Amino acid sequence: MINVKTFVLGAIGTNTYLIQDENTKELAVIDPACESFELNAKIREWGGKLRYILLTHGHFDHIGGVSSLLKEFSPQVVIGETETKLLNTPTLNLSAFHGLNIEKIDVNKALYDGEVFKLGDTQVKYISTPGHTVGSGCYIIDDCIFSGDTLFCQSIGRTDSPTSSGRDMMLSLMRLNDLEGDYTVYPGHDVSTTLSDERKYNPYMR
């Protein structure tokens, strides 16, 4: 089981998540938007055992805090295998259009679709959900989906950026819709929701 703490960070309000395996106290940060003293303080308060940075995709507002976490805690950087190019290409991660200089990011683990690994005693499953970007993905952990910019509360991520695809987005939403059971959905922006509510109320999933 995991504990989840949400931080809304950066210029456009990106949801950065700190998750903790209850048994081992190992930690992961999902989509660190920017350097955050508040986030770093909570990591230390929760024991400081930051094992992973889990990235749903490579846009600037989801990776801007990677370098500061690496310097302080030395975790492994994890992302889908088809998304690695975006991390260090300013025109693709959109940092070039916002006057930002993001330090080079080296990936420790490039995930294939359906890959499963462990955070402490907790199983983490990665599923590829392209659309917002070519290599966007979601992390399924316990009864939670960390959906990045694929699925929002009654909305979806944009598909007008480099490497985006509206067709791929629709296929990815169908894949999420077809998952068995219900999940709490923690998106990259805006409020959390549930998969059952999105099946009912999200016009893109009907």
**Token digits of residue 44:** 């230390």
75-82 mean pLDDT: 98
Tell which residue, 63, 9, 57, has the closest CA to residue 37: 9
Domain-embedded: residue 57: yes
pTM of the model: 0.98
**pLDDT of res. 107:** 98
Residue 168 lies in a domain: yes
Q: Say yes or no to pLDDT of 206 above 90.
A: no
d(CA 197, CA 19): 23
206 located within any domain = no
**172 part of a folded domain:** yes
Write out the residue range of the structural domain in which residue 102 sits.
2-201
Q: Is 61 helix (H, G, I), strand (E, B) or coil?
A: helix
Average pLDDT, the chain: 97
Task: Tell me how many domains the chain contains.
Answer: 1
pLDDT at 32: 98
Q: What pLDDT does residue 99 have?
A: 84
Residue 170 lies in a domain: yes
CATH value at residue 93: 3.60.15.10
Q: What is the pLDDT of residues 1-50, one digit of tens each?
A: 999 999 999 999 999 999 999 999 999 999 999 999 999 999 999 999 99
